[in-house]
Amino acid sequence: MGSSYSGNNGGIGIKGNFDCGGIFESSVLLPDSISLDFYNVKIGDDIKLKLIKDRLPRLEVVKLIDDTLIGLVPPTYSKLIKCIEEGWKYYGKITNIEGDEFDPMIYIRIQGEF
């Protein structure tokens, strides 16, 4: 309530040099507009990034099995949009979940594949 996003600022860690094929760790942004089924998201769930080309492109984090929307990749990762447009795909797992259904913090680890 009151803010556009719940949780922290969506900090991201990069393992190694930044390039399309790196390993990326991040918290997921949860805009108020996303209705997350908190109890249907588990540590270890397989995920992927999905590029939504809109007036303002965004990267959604979705469950691999059924495309359930989990949240958004922070805008500091806008470089990955270009990578996806060049043919890269990003897959990974949910590594940690903190908080509760009213203020969840979901952490992911993804890797680029070409």
**What pLDDT tens digit does each residue of the chain (114 aa) get?**
333 333 333 444 444 345 898 899 999 999 888 888 888 999 999 999 999 998 889 999 999 999 999 999 998 888 999 999 999 999 999 999 999 988 999 999 999 999
Give the number of other Cβ atoms within 10 Å of residue 20's Cβ.
16
Domains observed in the chain: 5-113 (3.30.70)
Of 60, 89, 57, residue with least CA distance to 73: 60
Rounded Cα distance between 101 and 16, Å, is 33
Largest CA distance in the chain: 40
Residue 9: predicted pLDDT: 38
